[in-house]
Structure 1
Amino acid sequence: MKNKPDDRTDNIDRIQYNIDRTILNCELADEMIAKTDDSKMKQALEDKNERRLESLQAMRCEIRDEALDKEKGYK
């Protein structure tokens, strides 16, 4: 069985897409928080947005690393 070659050509685009979607989801959750009176729902959405912000930080680091690797010519 042959392994597939490491194709990282679209990693930056894929990560950027995920960043954009995560930001959109945060914004949508903020709108829901503003509209709802349910305290449990508000807390759940706030907690989820906190996790999203942590993920955004990690994805931004990852995209930076990918860009540096691309400049070096993919190890």
Structure 2
Amino acid sequence: MTHNNPKPDDRSDNVEKLQDMVQNTQENINEANATMEFASEHEKQNIKAKNQRREESIEGMKSEIQDEAKARENGFQ
């Protein structure tokens, strides 16, 4: 039986990954807004609610980017 040692925590590219996630989420918001032109009133309400959650996620990711950037400056300690 072999034992796998856990991989060390590699945070070196977390900032970039989070920035990509923010960009992708913003693109999803833009695409959803574009589809509202063709949506029923019920669908529009769903899109608006989902976009609100996306905006909240973006704020959380931006905060995490700041934390990760500070950790990078401090040598991930």
TM bucket (normalised to shorter chain) is over 0.9
CA apart distance, 1:32: 1.0
Displacement over 2 Å in runs of 4+? none
Give the gaps of 5 or more residues in structure 2: none
TM-score using structure 2 length: 0.91
Q: How does 1:1-75 map to 2 (within 5 A)?
A: 1=3, 2-33=5-36, 35-75=37-77
Paired residues in the alignment total 74
Identity %: 36
Aligned equivalents of 1:15, 1:26: Cα separation in 2: 16
Aligned equivalents of 2:39, 2:19: Cα separation in 1: 33
Aligned equivalents of 2:6, 2:28: Cα separation in 1: 36
RMSD: 0.9
Which structure would you say has the larger Rg? 2
